[in-house]
Chains A and B, each alone.
Chain A
Amino acid sequence: MDTPAILEKLKQNIGSGIAGSNLEAIDPWVEVAPGALPEVCRFLRDEPELRFNMLHCISGVDYLQTDPKKKSEWEPHLEVVYHLSSLVHRHRLVLKVILPRWKDNVEGQLPEVPTVSDIWRTADWHEREVYDLSGVRFQGHPDLRRILCPEDWVGHPLRKDYQMPLEYHGIRGR
């Protein structure tokens, strides 16, 4: 079953959840509204024809052009990319959730996405990593703390506008 067929099936069952798609890309992806994410994911995993039982990876990508000289094709936003695949039917799918860089554009308020760690257990650590490095809060996550950076680290390194701290516990940063 290739991506257009999967998209069709998704639209029939959870029409509201799907906010767009791009089938011409190298890895065709489907955009999902943040609110409908758990419902869509549970449907993708439990639907017999789809059976997406493996979540490969969750990545956070920050689209903000910090270099004034270059013109930016995208308006600043944050994307959380889910790579799913089914070991049963051997097909793949990419889900994307488009988020504003800050929650209702207030500097310092992390954007919110409901967690899928109860659907795929691997999401538990991956969501902690996206929270730690890209700064996306996952509602309902059992234990959302930093996984790679030290607990008391400030800022989220993979954001484009991230500034390395001057010093950390006496160690010179910049």
Chain B
Amino acid sequence: MVLERVDPELAEFDVHTDELLVNMGPQHPSTHGVLRLVLRTDGEVVKEVIPHIGYLHRCAEKIGENLAARQWIPYTDRMDYLAGMNMNLGWALTVEKLLGLEVPERARHLRVLIAELNRIASHLVAAGTYGLDLGSFTPFVHCFREREKILDLFERVCGARLTYSYITIGGVMADLPRGWLDECEAFLVSFEPVIDDLHALLTSNAILIHRTAGIGVLSPEMAVSYGCTGPVLRASGVNWDLRRDGEPWCTRTYVGYKFEVIAETDGRYPQDAPYPPVPSAVVLGDCWHRFYVRMLEVVQSVKLARQAMDYYRKSPPGVGEPLRLVQKLPKGEAYLETEAPKGQMGFMVVSDGTTVPWRARARSSSFCNLSVVSELCRGCLIADVPAIVGSLDIVLGEIDR
């Protein structure tokens, strides 16, 4: 048999190990929550990934049609349970947009302070579990120790550690307790060195760079086309942050605050001076960038929290009183997206003039971020799947609603 020069595409290797259908989840340690990934693998190479969601579906939107607008707040902070405050803020702003309700100055600054602290907590969970996905346990413990401090602060503010229902329509439930601001200041001061430790442990770690550089590369066009938002979109180089470029109703909360949007412009990130530079092996839009964007956003959030505390001290007293349950909503509909830690969390409220909204719709950021996973994981190795899913930082409560 004469084997003439054959075009490599045609020459098919006959050593095909039979393709294995492997189930990763829904009770798998590395899928964040009840996500089931069916992997079609050929040996170690993943041919195709089919995500199955819906294991945590409670149909919160149907319940929204039978409750007064303010009574749905507790349902919103169970969607992204790692950033409850940002969810409450999203729904509160949407209904205020429908009502055209103004919020007093002190409440606005308080909202920025609490939302940014919750963003730090959510990014800490993302960084910690990402270290866990790649095998190093120690950063996970350091991240959760810092997050505990933030949860203690929240517990003193609203009594809850995870599901707060603190930010409501018309302002916030209650003002800060005495001495809270000094404790918050003390936390921020003690938090800076921990960021450097995390960078030392994870970002500049050669093995982590090898495990994440060039893996799961998401091009800007694909990111926009799949509707990815937040750190996932910014890591692909799209300079878009709703706190600066959003609707007036969303940017109104952040008027007067100076901060940087973390997106790579020609090879450098804004204000990344003290932190490790971008290594050469990484490609724009890969897992490493998504991780690094979150680490820099935490620094911006610390700056924002400090500015919010100063504004709060200077603002007149009075944090506004929550909407009365019997207040009728004007007929019409309003849709608003706010910058949640995981991406843009959109809420739509349609009302027919009664106190109960006709339709309450929640658009989840992780829902769109997760839809990219089958595109990113095609042809990677099995060990890369948790790395990619971890870098997208998804929460199943938010996806399944």
Direct contact of A and B (CB under 8 A): yes
Interface positions of A (Cβ within 8 A of B): 25-27, 53-57, 59, 61-63, 73, 81, 83, 87, 90, 92, 94, 120-122, 124-126, 133, 146-150, 157-158, 162
Interface of B is mostly: mixed
Check B337–A56 contact: CB distance below 8 A: yes
Q: In the bound complex, do residue A133 and residue B332 qualify as a contact, i.e. CB atoms below 8 Å apart?
A: no
Please tell me which one of the listed residues B57, B240, B333 contacts residue A149 in the complex, with CB atoms under 8 A apart.
B57
> Which residues does chain B contribute within 8 Å of A150, judged by CB atoms?
54
CB distance from B396 to the nearest CB of A (A): 11
B328 within 8 A of A: no
Chain B residues positioned under 8 Å from A158 (CB to CB): 59, 61-62, 359
Question: Are A61 and B359 CB-contacts (below 8 A) given A53-B224, A87-B224?
Answer: yes
Closest A residue by C-beta to B372: A121
Residue of A53, A57, A149, A162 near B54 (CB, 8 A) is: A149
What residues on A are CB-neighbors of B331 within 8 Å? Answer: 73
B residues less than 8 Å from A55 (CB atoms): 227
Interface residues on B, range: 35 or more
| 16 pairs, CB–CB < 8 Å, chain A vs chain B | A56-B335, A56-B344, A57-B346, A59-B361, A61-B333, A61-B359, A62-B359, A63-B358, A81-B348, A87-B245, A122-B225, A122-B368, A133-B61, A148-B59, A149-B57, A157-B62
A-B contact count (CB 8 A): 90
Given A59-B361, A61-B350, A149-B54, residue A90 in contact with residue B245 (CB < 8 A): yes
Interface residues in B327-356 by Cβ distance below 8 A to A read 331-335, 337, 344, 346, 348, 350, 352
- Complex contact A87–B240 (CB within 8 A): yes
> Which residue of chain A has its CB nearest to the CB of B375?
A121
A27: chain B residues within 8 A (beta carbon): 333-335
Is the Cβ of A25 less than 8 Å from the Cβ of B332?
Answer: yes
A25 to B400, CA, bound (A): 30
* Cα distance A18–B348 in the bound complex, in angstroms: 23
**Docked-complex contact A157 and B227, CB < 8 angstroms:** no
B53 within 8 A of A: yes
B247 within 8 Å of A (CB atoms): yes
Selected from A25, A57, A122, A148, the residue in CB contact (under 8 A) with B348 is A57
A55 vs B226: C-alpha distance in the bound complex, in angstroms? Answer: 8
Q: Which residues of B contact A (CB under 8 A)?
A: 53-54, 57, 59, 61-62, 97-98, 222, 224-227, 238, 240, 245, 247, 331-335, 337, 344, 346, 348, 350, 352, 358-359, 361, 363, 367-368, 371, 400-401
B371:A125 contact, CB within 8 angstroms: yes
- Residue from the list B54, B59, B62, B245 in contact with A147, Cβ < 8 A: B54
User: A72 vs B240: C-alpha distance in the bound complex, in angstroms?
Assistant: 41
What is the CB-to-nearest-CB distance from B368 to chain A, in angstroms, rounded to a whole number? 5
Check B371 against A57 for contact (C-beta < 8 Å): no
Complex alpha-carbon distance, A53 and B238, angstroms: 12
Query: Are A148 and B224 touching (Cβ within 8 A)?
Result: no
Q: CB-CB < 8 A to B53: which residues of A?
A: 147-148
The residue that A83 contacts in the complex, of B224, B335, B359, with Cβ under 8 A, is B335
* Residues of chain B with a CB closer than 8 A to A162's CB: 62
Q: Is the CB of B346 within 8 A of A83?
A: yes
Give Cα A122 to B375, complex, Å. 12
How many Å from the CB of A78 to the closest CB on chain B?
11
Q: Are B227 and A56 in contact (CB under 8 A)?
A: yes
14 more CB-based (< 8 A) A-B contacts, given A27-B335, A94-B335, A120-B227: A27-B333, A56-B337, A56-B344, A59-B361, A62-B359, A63-B358, A73-B331, A73-B352, A83-B335, A121-B222, A121-B371, A122-B227, A126-B227, A158-B359
Q: Which of B97, B222, B227 has the most CB of A within 10 A?
A: B227
Tell me which residues across on chain B come within 8 A of A25, comparing CB atoms. Answer: 332-333
Interface contact B332-A26, CB-CB below 8 Å: yes
Residues on the B chain within 8 Å of A56, using CB: 227, 335, 337, 344, 346, 363
Task: State the Cβ distance, A74 to closest chain B Cβ, in Å.
Answer: 8
